[in-house]
Structure 1
């Protein structure tokens, strides 16, 4: 019977409680995200994330010694699977965002909503925060 060496991973949440002076909840959130002082960190063992596979190799004790094998996508971390699928859905939305086959009235109702969704998706893909407001069509 063949042997395989697998690297399994899970995320352990680390958190902190800190108070920020801010004019709005969004500003307080920005301050917290930008704050790099984790000296009072706490580990949350009660809510550790799912176990997922980050590497697989043929043979016993072969991690990083042999060529890695592609991990089947159903064993990836769920959030990564969602992100990859989100990209596919986003690509499909961009494709249909052109007025192919839509009546002018339906298109004019649909396009503003589609632009907002596309801009939010672009922000997520580019690891930016959501746009505060839409000022230009996508790709301009």
Structure 2
């Protein structure tokens, strides 16, 4: 029977609390993200993330044998959501036709779909705070 080495991981959040002066919530968020001083940070033991698989090797030791692709069902849930996000966005971006929808239903759906597409594009472009 083969020997496998499995690497599992979980996220362990650290936090810091700082006070900044800024004109808007968006501006203060940018200041906080740009601040590299983590003196006085804390550990958030109550929100430790789920355990997920980050590596598999056909070997009795990590990184020493052939790496095996981790089935995505064992990846972190937030990563699995992110992986499908682009696919779902592409489906939304397809030309919308009012098939099966009344004209009123379509006219109600279209602005919401366009707003969702704009927010999703902002997420994919990593533009923090530009779209809500």
Report the TM-score when normalising by structure 1: 0.80
Question: What's the Cα RMSD here?
Answer: 2.2
- Give, in whole Å, the separation in 2 of the partners of 1:83 and 1:67: 27
TM-score, with length taken from structure 2:
0.84
Q: Flag structure 2 segments of 5+ consecutive residues without an equivalent.
A: none
Q: What is the deviation of 1:76?
A: 0.3
Structure 1: gaps spanning 5 or more residues? 134-140
SS in 1 for 2:38: coil
Regions of 4+ moved over 3 Å: 97-109, 130-133
- 2:39 is equivalent to residue 75 of structure 1: no
Q: What is the number of equivalent residue pairs in this alignment?
A: 131
Q: The residue matched to 1:23 in structure 2 has which SS?
A: coil
Q: For the residues of structure 2 that align with 1:52 and 1:104, how far apart are their CA atoms?
A: 46
Q: Distance in 2 between matches of 1:130 and 1:16?
A: 20
Q: How many Å separate the matches in 1 of 2:76 and 2:40?
A: 28
